[in-house]
Amino acid sequence: MKLLKTLMLAFILAVPGITQAQDSTEMKTRAFQFSFITPLGTNGLDSWNVTNKFSINLLAGYAGGINGIEFTGLINVLKSDLRGAQFAGLGHVVLGETRGIQFSGLFNVGIKPANAWQFAGFVNLVTQEIKGLQCAGFTNIVSDSLSGVQVSGFGNAATQRSKGFQASGFGNYAKGGKVTQASGFTNITAGNNAGLQITGFGNINIRDMKGVQIAGATNINAGHLKGMQISGLFNFARKLKGVQIAPFNYVDSLEKGVPIGVFSFVRNGYIGVELTATESMYGVFSFKTGIRKFYNILSVGAAYRSNRIIWGWGYGLGGMIPLSETWDLSIEGLCYQMNEGEWFTNRLNLLNKLQVAASWKLSKTVTLVGGLSWNVTVSDITDEYGDPVIPHIAPWEVYDHTNENINIKMYPGITAGIRL
């Protein structure tokens, strides 16, 4: 073992010196070579000036090139190009161009452009562009452009504009181009990209993108997005021409499209504040945000009826249909949790509304609103202790039915007020 370590150390120290010497001897081609560790082999001190067609190195080898196939127990280095296949227990280093296939237990390193398939237990690294496939247990890195596929257990990186596919257990990085990325945690493209990003947590695109972002938690596009964002929590787009789907969406500038979610804010979109009165709640404050075709509604209202304060907070969705420069027609659906004589009624006590209202623009800042509604209340008729209760949400009803512990009432209503 001590002898093996000494030989390997001598080999590692000798290779840089041999490389720097830049031997001007003309490259030869030989059909076969066998070595224990260079230069202890059939090519002797001439090894770095020979391109082999079939090569076997028991421990480590340094050769001029390979135009065929090579097997190495640990590490081999090629002074020039690879044209063929290499297999090594630890790794390969190719100082010239790589064209072919490489299998190693630990690493593959290419200094010049590669048109190859690389498989390594830990890392594949190419310092210039690569066309082909990289598969590694930990990471793949291309210091130039990628045209092909990277697959790794942890991460992939392509530092220039690329075309291809990246898949990793943790994250992917690409300068941009036409790259599809799939990862367990995050994907990042730092330039313009046309492709797909899909990840378990978050996607980030720094500049413009044509394509789709799908994430478990968040998508961020800092440029112009033409396409779609879908996430489990939050989408952000600086400029959007397309669709966002998430509980929370933000668009700085909407060119064309729609954000769909629980709460969407479009900076150049629609923001409305309404003060209205209805048959069920005599004072209602509603905040509306999104775009006129599709907006979210946050609403709160109250009334005094049956010797008690009745109030509710609700959420809804709506959309406007333009009729003229001054007239619009809005269609909205809302659901309120109603509280009777207390801050919070701890039972099912819902007021559901479908309302259609016309709006007349009185001035730049004030719009008059009025319309009709259809209301459905759904209430539990027993409280948390099992005692019977009587709901007082509906001021009147045209339908009243109780099924086991649930009471359902239906009635028409009106709404009127102003929008600011």
CA 122 to chain CA mean position, Å: 26
The per-residue pLDDT for range 121-175, each reduced to its tens digit, is: 999 999 999 999 999 999 999 999 999 999 999 999 999 989 999 999 999 999 9
Residue 220: the pLDDT is 97
Residue 2: the pLDDT is 54
The mean pLDDT value of the chain amounts to: 92
Map out the domains of the chain as residue ranges: 28-128, 160-268, 270-419
Residue 25: the pLDDT is 61
Residue 383: the pLDDT is 79
The per-residue pLDDT for range 10-52, each reduced to its tens digit, is: 444 455 544 444 444 678 999 999 999 999 999 999 998 999 9
State the Cα torsion 347-348-349-353 to the nearest 10°.
160
Strand (E) or helix (H) holding 184: none
The three-point CA angle 379-380-385 to 5° equals 145
Are the beta carbons of 207 and 220 closer than 8 angstroms?
no
Residue 13: the pLDDT is 44
Q: Label the pairing between strands 294-305 and 283-291.
A: antiparallel
What is the distance between the alpha carbons of residues 85 and 150, in angstroms, rounded to a whole number? Answer: 19
Are the beta carbons of 96 and 113 closer than 8 angstroms?
no
Phi, psi of 320 (to 5 degrees): -110, 140
Residue 387: the pLDDT is 82
pLDDT of residue 6 exceeding 80, the answer is no
pLDDT of residue 5 exceeding 60, the answer is no
| 267 burial level (CB within 10 Å; 0-12, 13-18, 19+) | exposed
What is the distance between the alpha carbons of residues 177 and 74, in angstroms, rounded to a whole number? Answer: 37
Residue 364: the pLDDT is 87
Peptide bond into 391 cis (omega under 30): no
Residue 216: the pLDDT is 98
Q: Label the pairing between strands 327-340 and 349-361.
A: antiparallel
Phi, psi of 120 (to 5 degrees): -140, 150
pLDDT of residue 278 exceeding 80, the answer is yes
| 83 burial level (CB within 10 Å; 0-12, 13-18, 19+) | middle
Question: What predicted TM-score, i.e. pTM, was given to this entire model?
Answer: 0.86
| 384 burial level (CB within 10 Å; 0-12, 13-18, 19+) | exposed
DSSP for 214-240 reads EESSEEEEEEEEEEEEEESSEEEEEEE
The per-residue pLDDT for range 52-89, each reduced to its tens digit, is: 999 999 999 999 999 999 999 999 999 999 999 999 99
Residue 297: the pLDDT is 98
Residue 19: the pLDDT is 47
E strand segments, 171-305: 171-183, 186-189, 193-199, 202-205, 209-215, 218-231, 234-245, 248-260, 263-266, 270-278, 283-291, 294-305
- The percent of residues in the chain predicted with pLDDT above 90, rounded, is 86
The per-residue pLDDT for range 338-379, each reduced to its tens digit, is: 999 899 988 999 999 999 999 999 998 999 999 999 999 999
Summarize the confidence of residues 203-221 as an average pLDDT: 97
Other CB atoms within 10 A of residue 48 CB: 24
CATH fold label, 270-419: Porin (2.40.160)
Give residue 354's identity as a one-letter amino acid code: L
Residue 306: the pLDDT is 83
Residues 6+ apart with CB under 8 A from 160: 129, 142, 143, 144, 145, 146, 175
Residues facing 346 on adjacent strands: none
Lowest mean pLDDT among 3-7, 161-165, 166-170, 245-249: 3-7
Summarize the confidence of residues 301-316 as an average pLDDT: 94
Give residue 94's identity as a one-letter amino acid code: V
